[in-house]
């Protein structure tokens, strides 16, 4: 199954998707969704956009608690089965969204921690959700692929990750499938949007540098199928109401490189393109294995 993103626009440095049926806040909240990793890009936008959907969001955090949730936010350690079982019993959600993850760089620096969170933690969460008959929506990544195919990826392609981040994401997927509960794995392309609690992600990095008129070194030979965070949030909410079980790809309809992403942002900000410095993947020394072509087909 493939989900595509709507045409994306930028207004006041934010990617917004306008939909006529989102004109009014939803009054009746019929189901509860527990969000693991609510401080991140996707998790924080699930909270921010939840008034548009008929769900009550139960936010949980681990190491970073936003000020407004220091009293009400739940704390979860997904690597601790007893803690997760207790949390699910007390919060009684209909669905759980696992948006927790380490950064790509942190995974390379601390591979043991990466495996603990993104493999062991997913297995624990899957077992707990199955125990309470709770639907689990797990966010994975296009980085489960090597980028060496030379053509857009589909679900027919077997993952062949080359980074610690990608390997732990792929093994987490397999662990989740082995538990055989009510689950959906969303392999998301790079997500474009602004963090609601702190700066996080590629877009925030570009905006911060562009506002200061600082140079933007962007890969000219790394291709992705970016998805707007608003669209990914909508996919997640729809999955919370569906019976679909399995794996899907979530990405934009077009494959573009990072230079093009930067140009579109700068146009929206009224900034000149000359602060972009196109670079090739091979020209940068990095401690992370970089994929060149992760487009979805």
pLDDT in tens, 103-156: 999 999 999 999 999 999 999 999 999 999 999 999 999 999 999 999 999 999
Averaged pLDDT, 221-237: 95
User: Tell me, what's the pLDDT at 26?
Assistant: 52
Secondary structure of the chain as H, E, C letters: CEEEECCCEEECCEEECCCHHHCCCCCCCCEEEEEECCCCHHHHHHHHHHHHCCEEEEEEECCCCCHHHCCCCEECCCCCHHHHHHHHHHHCCCEEEECCCCCHHHHHHCHHHHHHHHHHHHHHHHHHHHHCCCEEEEEEEHHHCCCCCCCCECCCCCCCCCCHHHHHHHHHHHHHHHHCCCEEEEEECCEECCCCCCCCCHHHHHHHHHHCCCCEEEECCCEECCEEHHHHHHHHHHHHCCCCCEEEEEEECCCEEHHHHHHHHHHHHCCCHHHEEEECHHHCCCCCCCCCECCEC
pLDDT of residue 29: 67
CB neighbours of residue 28 within 10 Å: 5
In this predicted structure, the answer to whether residue 9 has a pLDDT above a threshold of 60 is: no
Q: What is the mean pLDDT of the chain?
A: 88
Average pLDDT rounded to a whole number, residues 69-76: 80
pLDDT confidence of residue 20: 31
Tell me the sheet residues that pair with 247: 185
Q: What is the structure's pLDDT at 21?
A: 33
- Reported as a pLDDT band with limits 50, 70 and 90, residue 288 is confident
How high is the pLDDT of residue 15?
35
Instruction: Give residue 16's pLDDT.
Output: 33
Average pLDDT for 257-272? 94
Check residue 3 and give its pLDDT: 52
What token pair was written down for 252? 């934009």
Q: Provide the pLDDT for residue 5.
A: 45
Q: CATH homologous superfamily of domain 2-193+226-254?
A: NAD(P)-binding Rossmann-like Domain (3.40.50.720)
Residue 224's DSSP bridge partners are 256
**What would the pLDDT profile of 196-212 be if each residue is shown by its tens digit?**
888 888 999 999 999 99
pLDDT above 70 covers a percentage of the chain that reads 90
Q: What is the pLDDT of residue 218?
A: 95
Note the pLDDT of residue 111.
Answer: 96
**Tokens 């006041």 belong to residue:** 12
pLDDT tens, position by position, 33-68: 999 999 899 999 999 999 999 999 999 988 777 778
The domain locations on the chain are 2-193+226-254
| 128-142, 165-179, 281-295: segment of lowest average pLDDT | 281-295
């Amino acid at each position: 199954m493939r989900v595509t993103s709507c045409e994306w626009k930028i207004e006041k440095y934010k990617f917004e998707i306008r939909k006529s049926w989102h004109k009014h806040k939803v009054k009746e909240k019929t189901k509860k969704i527990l969000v693991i990793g609510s401080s991140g890009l996707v998790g924080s936008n699930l909270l921010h956009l939840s008034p548009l959907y008929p769900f009550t969001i139960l936010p949980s955090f681990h190491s970073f608690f936003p000020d407004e949730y220091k009293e009400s936010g739940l704390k979860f350690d997904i690597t601790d089965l007893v803690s997760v079982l207790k949390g699910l019993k007390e919060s009684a959600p209909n669905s759980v969204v696992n948006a927790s993850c380490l950064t790509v760089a942190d995974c390379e620096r601390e591979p043991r921690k990466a495996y603990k969170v993104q493999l062991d933690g997913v297995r624990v969460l899957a077992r707990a959700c199955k125990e309470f008959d709770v639907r689990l929506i797990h966010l994975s990544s296009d980085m489960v692929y090597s980028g060496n195919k030379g053509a857009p990826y589909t679900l027919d392609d077997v993952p062949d990750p080359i980074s610690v981040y990608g390997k732990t994401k792929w093994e987490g997927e397999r662990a989740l499938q082995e538990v055989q509960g009510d689950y959906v794995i969303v392999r998301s392309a790079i997500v474009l949007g602004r963090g609601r609690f702190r700066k996080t992600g590629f877009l925030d990095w570009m905006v911060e540098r562009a506002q200061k008129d600082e140079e933007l070194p962007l890969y000219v030979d790394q291709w992705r199928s970016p998805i707007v965070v608003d669209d990914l949030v909508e996919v997640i909410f729809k999955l919370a109401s569906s019976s679909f079980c399995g794996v899907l790809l979530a990405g934009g309809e077009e494959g573009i490189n990072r230079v093009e992403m930067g140009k579109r942002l700068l146009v929206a900000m009224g900034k000149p393109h000359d602060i972009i410095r196109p670079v090739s993947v091979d020209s940068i020394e990095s401690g992370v294995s970089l994929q060149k072509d992760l487009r979805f087909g």
